[in-house]
Structure 1
Amino acid sequence: MKREKGLLIVLSGPSGVGKGTVCGALRKHDTHIRYSVSATTRKPRKGEVEGINYFFKEKQEFERMIAENELLEYAQYVDNYYGTPRQYVEETIAAGHDVILEIEVQGALQVKKTFPEGVFIFLMPPSLKELRSRIESRGTESKDLIDSRMTVAKDEIELMDKYDYVVENDEVESAVERIKSIVTAENCRKERLIHLYKELVEE
């Protein structure tokens, strides 16, 4: 039975927790979930591809997108903008497909105001020590920037109670299995399906 609307799944958590890695693995497991590519003003990291990992924008272009309401959400994080282009998300959900957003915590809380019916998942590191180790292993940030990210991470973890679910990213495959279980359960929620079955009775 085709649903009228797909799910909006929002995955967020501290920088370095492994959101991109988990989302990439989830896409390989579940080809039915559509992935929304975010826009950012930060420079590409090694191996990142335009239009697959991010849409890389200059600051002026990003601010034009903000002004023209082309973003579902956006946030400024450690001197860079991050945001979600609106059109793809709205059209895909309207067509009955599930969409996952991999975004920063500030952005996730903005989306919750617009899409309170979304499924909000907070990805947790096993420990702050492990989180710092993951950020350091990138080899792309100075000590001062890593310190800034850790300070922000502590503040973000305190916002965990704004989410529907918490998944610890202790091991990528385990985290993916938990997220798949959440999505399956949410697609079976009575509130999302009851109108379809009422239509059967009315026939």
Structure 2
Amino acid sequence: MSNLFIVAAPSGCGKTSLVKALIEKTKNLCVSVSHTTRAARSGEVHGENYFFVSKNEFDEINNNNGFIESACVFDNHYGSAKQTVKDLLTQNQDVILEIDWQGARQVEKFFSGIISIFIIPPSIEALRERLTDRGQDNPTIIERRMKDAVSEMQHYDEFDYLVVNDDFDIALNELSTIIHSQRLNIEQQSIKHQDLLKALIG
């Protein structure tokens, strides 16, 4: 029985780096690769970081109800393909969706039993510093991202878990704990060890 996790965070909170490290240290855990209309950044690979598509290609999938969630962020479109997620879940993989709070609401209409995690920075000052230091955006865009971050963080209480990314290793350990605790719940363990349980108690 596979799990579907949602990991959301404002831009600059380190979500992508945390999820990448989590995948590397956790067996049978993967990220569902989203589609986007934005241009690939340096080092990004089609089909690995995103499926980079044109606006027309994106609209075609969307018009055929092919996305379980989609959003327009900073004038670019993003979407999680329904078939991609279903295929991964049937391969005995736990799946992570890296989406925002609005996407989380949409996904809950398609899948039940989702485990959602929201990541926040240790302070507003730390978030601004991270956005500035990564050197990807001009001051106008940074201010826009800061404003949007405050708006996004107001929805933290719609999620199951809250992780503060102050110390990277601590935040990573907390994410790992959430994943493994879910795998140890009674429903998961009853299915995994049904033969043992039958032998023990008849």
The residue aligned with 1:98 is 94
Which residue of the other structure, out of 107, 113, 116, is the alignment partner of 1:117?
113
Which residue of the other structure, out of 71, 79, 82, is the alignment partner of 2:78?
82
User: CA–CA distance in 2 between the matches of 1:60 and 1:132?
Assistant: 34
Shift in Å at residue 167 of structure 1?
0.8
Which one-letter code corresponds to 1:60 in the other structure?
N
Shift in Å at residue 158 of structure 1?
0.7
Shift in Å at residue 192 of structure 1?
4.0
Residue 168 (structure 1) aligned with residue 132 (structure 2):
no
Alignment of 1:19-98 (within 5 A): 19-98=15-94
Coordinate RMSD, CA, aligned: 2.0
The residue aligned with 1:126 is 122
Which residue of the other structure, out of 110, 121, 139, is the alignment partner of 1:143?
139
User: CA–CA distance in 1 between the matches of 2:170 and 2:126?
Assistant: 17
1:73-126: CA deviation from partner (whole Å, max 9, x where unpaired): 111111111111221211221333211111223212211332241110001111
Residue 153 (structure 1) aligned with residue 119 (structure 2):
no
Residue 14 of structure 1 contacts residue 105 of structure 1 at CA under 8 Å; is this kept in 2? no
Residue 2 of structure 2 contacts residue 90 of structure 2 at CA under 8 Å; is this kept in 1? yes
Q: TM-score if structure 2 supplies the norm length? A: 0.89
Shift in Å at residue 136 of structure 1?
1.7
Number of aligned pairs? 199
1:118-170: CA deviation from partner (whole Å, max 9, x where unpaired): 11000111112111221222322222221111111111111001000011111
Which one-letter code corresponds to 2:70 in the other structure?
Y
User: CA–CA distance in 2 between the matches of 1:141 and 1:75?
Assistant: 20
Residue 13 of structure 1 contacts residue 124 of structure 1 at CA under 8 Å; is this kept in 2? yes
Structure 1 unmatched runs, 5+: none
User: CA–CA distance in 1 between the matches of 2:38 and 2:101?
Assistant: 17
User: CA–CA distance in 1 between the matches of 2:172 and 2:108?
Assistant: 22
User: CA–CA distance in 2 between the matches of 1:158 and 1:72?
Assistant: 23
Shift in Å at residue 17 of structure 1?
1.0
Shift in Å at residue 193 of structure 1?
4.4
Shift in Å at residue 25 of structure 1?
0.7
User: CA–CA distance in 2 between the matches of 1:75 and 1:130?
Assistant: 26
Which one-letter code corresponds to 1:110 in the other structure?
Q
Shift in alpha-carbon separation, 1:197–1:52, aligned structure 2, 3 A: closer
Which residue of the other structure, out of 12, 26, 32, is the alignment partner of 1:16?
12
- 2:180 is paired with a residue whose SS is helix
Residue 122 of structure 1 contacts residue 167 of structure 1 at CA under 8 Å; is this kept in 2? yes
Q: TM-score if structure 1 supplies the norm length? A: 0.89
Taking only the aligned residue pairs, the percentage that are identical comes to 37
188-197 or 93-102, larger mean C-alpha shift: 188-197
Residue 28 of structure 2 contacts residue 92 of structure 2 at CA under 8 Å; is this kept in 1? no
User: CA–CA distance in 2 between the matches of 1:89 and 1:56?
Assistant: 17
Residue 76 of structure 1 contacts residue 82 of structure 1 at CA under 8 Å; is this kept in 2? yes
